[in-house]
Chain A
């Protein structure tokens, strides 16, 4: 059975616009097909997608034996939301005034979702996002209402524990209304085996709103994690993303950001650390579509063993987007002969008055620094660990919430 021949019925197939949307997704995927060496956006990581013939979509209702209950050892306060084995846990959520969260199907039923669903990207360009649309059912719609400043992070834990060879499609809509401000933390973990977790976040930032988007990807070794984040930003809005990827078969975080109006700014920072044979792929496409927009990217990775680190960063500056600034830097430590680091920066600049830069470095740990530490009695393993920690710290320093930074650091 292939990914497109799942014999299942989805909620709301009798709603014409929804059925139409799913069909559009399916057609877009069929046209594009699974990524190959010729798919530019996937040229370094398509192989890691691997076997898909044996995957099934799990249509059983969510039955929870309690494993998805709250994390009690989080070192900071947070509003916790749980997506267990691909399904949202519960229907009522303990959230503060001005914040609403609904299962996606409820948001579709209530008529809230239609204005946003599939509105932020072009399906034919993103095969897995198209497939996500074809099967959209699970996920949530989160709305931060106008002017609401959320006092604690909204912590979303995606925990895959009891699934094997499952194709989990999760679709979230995140709407931050004007002058609202929130932090969300996505945490992916669990011992599920051989799954593809295909997550699409469509994020809409209204005028002068702000969203801090933290993500820690820490799933089982056999997981293929494919996350597509499509962000649309209005004037004066600020999106700041920090992604941390630990090792699994494939961990891909793709950001597709449209700075649509003046004064919008976006940041994508990230770290990854690989020791065995996994692939980490951080792909960004930041589109400056209006003047006075700013973007910054800093990604650092550590690659050992037979692993592969990929960074693809595109900065597009539209013809009228004058006085924009776009900066990008990817640095990697390549610690083994068998490891691989691929970096592809792309700048497309159609305006004249812009400031742009990109850079990439790849190297081993500094021998002089290692010797200096050893000459002070620190053994080679500790010296390497300290230097790697220091290397990643520069990116961790970009996280505004220091408790969250410490939490992420502790897992690296």
Chain B
């Protein structure tokens, strides 16, 4: 029996006083790939922000355990260092901060949390070059300010690069496929697949089947109105693609 990585029990959460997550239950074990599919506005991204602890996202009920720890008692940076990663739908640009410096801060923050010595510039660059090459990210892009003027595809590849440097226990990919052409989609999917093994898990948030054809899900959840209305295997995603969300939501 695989270890549970994420256990969400009876979770409710509000944003600006409005209840967006309603009594959500979800368990993700090591080695599993879960897909969370649902219509726009269902609260999928809200879930990813609640999990990462974004300010203004308030948990009003329930509990979340992450690798056995009380996730809600941890700060955002502690959650990240403990192995939670969110590939964001809209990664923010930070003028004045060079990408490679940003990545070095992130990698060393995690090493510090784990009690490992920080990497010096040379050690870090060696690591960075290897990982960046796999995602077809060149030295020029690493020198630029992070996400400043990056195309949609560049931003998504940068998110996956961060994931590959941080090697999380649970990676949430929020619309990692949006705005990607076929080649870029494959690059991102390959990057994710390479990282996935029996010790970690993936939660893929998506509208479409596209990404799931490249990253094979074990369990597919249909998410609407703040909770999961149906779960199944990949066939559920295929069925969903044919009939649309409305059929499922109306049946609820």
A386 & B77 in contact (Cβ 8 Å cutoff): no
Q: Is A320 an interface residue (CB 8 A)?
A: no
Contacts of A369 in B (CB 8 A): 92, 94
Q: Is B246 an interface residue (CB 8 A)?
A: no
Q: Is B68 an interface residue (CB 8 A)?
A: no
Q: Which A357-412 residues have C-beta < 8 A from chain B?
A: 366-369, 371-380, 382-383, 386-387, 389-391, 393-394
Contacts of B102 in A (CB 8 A): 373, 376, 386
A391 & B162 in contact (Cβ 8 Å cutoff): no
A368 & B92 in contact (Cβ 8 Å cutoff): yes
Tell whether A374 pairs with B75 under 8 Å between CB atoms, given A369-B94, A386-B97, A391-B96.
yes
A377 to B80, CA, bound (A): 5
B105 & A375 in contact (Cβ 8 Å cutoff): no
A375 & B94 in contact (Cβ 8 Å cutoff): no
A376 & B106 in contact (Cβ 8 Å cutoff): yes
Q: Which B51-102 residues have C-beta < 8 A from chain A?
A: 52, 54-55, 75-77, 80-81, 86, 88, 91-92, 94-97, 102
A367 & B110 in contact (Cβ 8 Å cutoff): no
A315 to B196, CA, bound (A): 60
Tell whether A390 pairs with B55 under 8 Å between CB atoms, given A375-B76, A376-B80, A376-B162.
no
A376 to B96, CA, bound (A): 17
A379 to B86, CA, bound (A): 16
A369 to B95, CA, bound (A): 10
Interface string of A223-260 (1 = CB under 8 A from B): 00000000000000000000000000000000000000
Q: Nearest Cβ distance between residue A395 and chain B, in whole angstroms?
A: 10
A387 to B88, CA, bound (A): 20
A375 & B109 in contact (Cβ 8 Å cutoff): no
B54 & A390 in contact (Cβ 8 Å cutoff): no
Contacts of B96 in A (CB 8 A): 387, 389-391, 393-394
A377 & B109 in contact (Cβ 8 Å cutoff): yes
Contacts of B166 in A (CB 8 A): 376-377
CB-based nearest B residue for A393? B96
Q: Nearest Cβ distance between residue B37 and chain A, in whole angstroms?
A: 23
Q: Is B150 an interface residue (CB 8 A)?
A: no
B95 & A377 in contact (Cβ 8 Å cutoff): no
A367 & B55 in contact (Cβ 8 Å cutoff): yes
B52 & A378 in contact (Cβ 8 Å cutoff): no
CB-based nearest A residue for B79? A375
Q: Which A3-50 residues have C-beta < 8 A from chain B?
A: none
Tell whether A374 pairs with B105 under 8 Å between CB atoms, given A369-B94, A389-B96.
no
A377 to B52, CA, bound (A): 11
Contacts of A386 in B (CB 8 A): 97, 102, 105
User: How many A residues have CB within 8 A of the partner chain?
Assistant: 23
A383 to B106, CA, bound (A): 10
A372 & B109 in contact (Cβ 8 Å cutoff): no
Contacts of A377 in B (CB 8 A): 77, 80-81, 106, 109-110, 113, 166
Contacts of B54 in A (CB 8 A): 371, 375
CB-based nearest A residue for B94? A369
B94 & A382 in contact (Cβ 8 Å cutoff): no
B81 & A372 in contact (Cβ 8 Å cutoff): no
A382 & B105 in contact (Cβ 8 Å cutoff): yes
A361 to B175, CA, bound (A): 34
A390 & B86 in contact (Cβ 8 Å cutoff): no
Tell whether A372 pairs with B88 under 8 Å between CB atoms, given A377-B80, A377-B109.
yes
Pick from A368, A371, A378, A391: contact of B109, CB below 8 A. A378
CB-based nearest A residue for B56? A367
A279 to B65, CA, bound (A): 48
Contacts of B91 in A (CB 8 A): 372
Pick from B55, B75, B94, B110: contact of A372, CB below 8 A. B94
Contacts of B94 in A (CB 8 A): 369, 372-373, 387, 390
B106 & A378 in contact (Cβ 8 Å cutoff): yes
A378 to B104, CA, bound (A): 10
Pick from A378, A380, A391: contact of B105, CB below 8 A. A378
CB-based nearest B residue for A370? B55
A132 to B96, CA, bound (A): 41
Contacts of A378 in B (CB 8 A): 77, 105-106, 109
A389 to B96, CA, bound (A): 8
Q: Nearest Cβ distance between residue B143 and chain A, in whole angstroms?
A: 14
Q: Nearest Cβ distance between residue A43 and chain B, in whole angstroms?
A: 32
Contacts of A389 in B (CB 8 A): 96
B55 & A375 in contact (Cβ 8 Å cutoff): no
Q: Nearest Cβ distance between residue A191 and chain B, in whole angstroms?
A: 33
Which of B86, B91, B97, B113 gathers the greatest number of chain A CB atoms within 10 Å? B97
Q: Which B180-214 residues have C-beta < 8 A from chain A?
A: none
Tell whether A374 pairs with B95 under 8 Å between CB atoms, given A367-B55, A382-B105.
no
Tell whether A390 pairs with B113 under 8 Å between CB atoms, given A375-B76, A382-B105.
no
B97 & A371 in contact (Cβ 8 Å cutoff): no
Q: Nearest Cβ distance between residue B40 and chain A, in whole angstroms?
A: 21
B105 & A371 in contact (Cβ 8 Å cutoff): no
Interface string of B110-124 (1 = CB under 8 A from A): 100100000000000
Contacts of B110 in A (CB 8 A): 377
Q: Nearest Cβ distance between residue B119 and chain A, in whole angstroms?
A: 14
CB-based nearest A residue for B48? A375
Contacts of B106 in A (CB 8 A): 373, 376-378
A382 to B76, CA, bound (A): 13
* Further pairs besides A373-B106, A377-B166: 15, Cβ < 8 Å: A367-B55, A372-B94, A373-B102, A375-B86, A376-B102, A376-B162, A377-B77, A378-B106, A379-B75, A380-B77, A386-B105, A387-B96, A393-B96, A394-B95, A394-B96
B residues in contact (CB < 8 Å) with A: 52, 54-55, 75-77, 80-81, 86, 88, 91-92, 94-97, 102, 105-106, 109-110, 113, 162, 166
Could you jot down 6 A-B contacts, CB within 8 Å? A369-B92, A371-B76, A374-B77, A374-B80, A376-B162, A390-B97
Nearest 6 Cβ contacts at the A-B interface: A390-B96, A377-B80, A377-B109, A374-B76, A376-B106, A377-B81
